[in-house]
Amino acid sequence: MTTYDNGPAMRLTGLPTPPLWICILLGIVMIIAGLLVLGDLALFTVISTIFIGWMAIIAGGFEIIHAFWTKGWGGFVWQLLLGALYLAFGIVLVTQPLTSALILTYVLGLLLLISGIVRVLVGISHWQQFGWIILVSGLFGAVAGLIILTGFPATGTWVLGLLLGIDLLSHGIGWLTLAWLPATRTG
């Protein structure tokens, strides 16, 4: 016997696809937010830095509280030290957002450069198994890292905001794409 499901479309996760209007609304909101961020990169770089700082402060506080709750687990001093480091890092980010944005941008540039070089090497060593895709990805990462590092410190005032804006735009486009894909809708 064959049965047909007339319920909401299911994704690979087994969760129903959100209604069309929610996908469209999220897409539009994300695109507008992305355009706003791209309109003032320096402001949103500072806002991002402050947000990361507050998250570090909250994580540090929870880490310290967790250390006292789980004294029997061992590593009490290490948990306290880790919590204190998170707190200190967060306080620096919140109280000195422009300087912190420069530091975060420099670290991001180094990470992109290093991970790009590693991906290039992995791509070359795995050339027969579609290594060219990894190689191209690595080249983009390395070039992005070099652009950030060679333009430093000026890049520190806009890179984080640019990445946030691009992420919001791509997220919004993703939601709109989901809304208009016929395979995700039942009819």
Is residue 165 a contact partner of residue 48, using CB atoms and an 8 Å limit? no
Q: Look at residue 7 and tell me if it is in a domain.
A: no
Measure the CA–CA gap between 178 and 172, rounded to whole angstroms: 10
Q: What confidence score (pLDDT) does residue 5 get?
A: 47
The 10s digit of each residue's pLDDT in 159-176 is 888 888 888 898 888 888
CA-to-CA dists, residue 56 to 51, 85, 158, 159, 176, angstroms:
9, 9, 21, 20, 33
What range does the domain containing 173 cover?
A: 20-178
Q: Look at residue 69 and tell me if it is in a domain.
A: yes
Q: Look at residue 10 and tell me if it is in a domain.
A: no
Q: Look at residue 184 and tell me if it is in a domain.
A: no
Q: Look at residue 41 and tell me if it is in a domain.
A: yes
In the chain, which ranges are E strands? none
Q: Look at residue 183 and tell me if it is in a domain.
A: no
Q: Look at residue 167 and tell me if it is in a domain.
A: yes
- Reduced to 3 states (helix: H, G, I; strand: E, B; else coil), residue 10 is strand
Q: Does 52 have pLDDT greater than 70?
A: yes
Q: What confidence score (pLDDT) does residue 185 get?
A: 53
Count of domains observed in the chain? 1
Q: What confidence score (pLDDT) does residue 146 get?
A: 92
Q: Look at residue 161 and tell me if it is in a domain.
A: yes
